[in-house]
Amino acid sequence: MNDLSANRSMRKLYAVAVIGTMLLALSACDKNSPASPEGKQSKSPTQAIEPIVLQDWGPKETRAGEAFNRQPTNNSAIWIKVSGVKRHPDTKVTWSGSTLAGVAVGADAVTAEVPPELFQREGQYEIVIEEGDGGRKFSVGKFVVNPK
């Protein structure tokens, strides 16, 4: 074997060793390690989620057909002083299953508009916050519509 041929063989061996070392190092990486891109995006299943805490809400009642907290849209409005609700654009508030419009989620409050057709009949109507990411549902309370 001449020197040129031996030199080529050594370079090939070196290249195989380097590539093998890189593959071994990559296979040892943990996808959940903070050093990996996946690790930066993933959340630990044990990571604490802030609990939803209700301080107050209102109004809690009206008479059938009587507007409350009237808005420029001619709808009425409810406010919910609450913490821990995720600020997500698809978070909604429901009135006995009907999704309310004009929902706004702030740091410590959620508001929603209630159209007049929803409080024409006396009864009790459950108010629920549903987080927009398919997350938690939180029962706020029952809105009471009294007789006229």
Residue listed under structure tokens 């004009």: 102
Indicate if 9 and 73 belong to the same structural domain.
no
Identify which of 66, 130, 64 has the alpha carbon closest to the alpha carbon of residue 97: 130
Indicate if 12 and 57 belong to the same structural domain.
no
Indicate if 79 and 101 belong to the same structural domain.
yes
pLDDT in tens, 87-134: 999 999 999 999 999 999 999 999 999 999 999 999 999 999 999 988
- For residue 92, tell me if it sits in a domain: yes
Q: Which domain holds residue 23?
A: 3-41
- For residue 48, tell me if it sits in a domain: no
Identify which of 57, 70, 46, 129 has the alpha carbon closest to the alpha carbon of residue 95: 129
**Does 47 have pLDDT greater than 90?**
no
Using CA atoms, how far apart are residues 44 and 32, in angstroms rounded to an integer? 9
Q: Would you say the pTM of this structure is higher than 0.85?
A: no
- For residue 123, tell me if it sits in a domain: yes
Identify which of 111, 101, 95, 76 has the alpha carbon closest to the alpha carbon of residue 143: 95
How many C-beta atoms lie closer than 10 Å to residue 138's C-beta? 20
Here the CATH number for the domain that contains residue 114 is 2.60.40.10
Indicate if 23 and 89 belong to the same structural domain.
no
How many folded domains does the chain comprise? 2
Indicate if 121 and 73 belong to the same structural domain.
yes
| 23 confidence band (pLDDT: 50, 70, 90) | very low
Phi, then psi, of 106 in degrees rounded to 5: -110, -175
Indicate if 85 and 35 belong to the same structural domain.
no
- For residue 142, tell me if it sits in a domain: yes
pLDDT in tens, 50-99: 899 999 999 999 999 999 999 999 999 999 999 999 999 999 999 999 99
- For residue 15, tell me if it sits in a domain: yes
| 49 confidence band (pLDDT: 50, 70, 90) | confident
Contact (CB, 8 A) for 110 and 129: yes
Higher pLDDT, 28 or 105: 105
- For residue 74, tell me if it sits in a domain: yes
Contact (CB, 8 A) for 121 and 112: no
Indicate if 32 and 72 belong to the same structural domain.
no
- For residue 47, tell me if it sits in a domain: no
